Amino acid sequence: MAGAAASVASGEVFGSSGEGRVAGAARRDYADAAVAVLTGEGHENKVYELSGDADWSMGELAAELTAASGSPVAYRDVTAQEQVRRLVAAGLPEGFAELFPNTDAAIARGELALRTGDLARLIGRPTVPLAESVRAALGA
């Protein structure tokens, strides 16, 4: 979970996704799915929609960061322009930073909240919960 420590240090997660939800999963889950597809049988010409078993908002991510770190972390919903400005100030190239509001707009529209179960079926277990991913990212 990139940026977890920085979010704890700054006391905030920021973005422009509002109350939108994400059915994200841990990198480990996606890696395990890739191994299953690349080494398994019967995946030819199949399309999988990979997502976590649960969806969560950026506010819930901030709450998990707070719980895992013991330091208050809040979600700050900012405009797309403010999001780009802050990302550039943090060192991202402007062209790359401009991609984030597009993703956040998709989150706000609910386009990243789809839970298909494909990922859990491929890896043969439930996906890693958000709280566990946050604790691992913070080394807690």
Residues in the chain: 140
Structure tokens at 61: 């991510």
Per-residue pLDDT reduced to its tens digit, 64-99: 999 999 999 999 999 999 999 999 999 999 999 999
**What pairs with residue 75 in β-bridges?**
13
Between CA 89 and CA 53 the distance in angstroms is 34
pTM comes to 0.89
Domain carrying residue 104: 4-138
Count: domains in the chain: 1
Per-residue pLDDT reduced to its tens digit, 50-60: 999 999 999 99
What is the domain-level CATH number for residue 106? 3.90.25.10
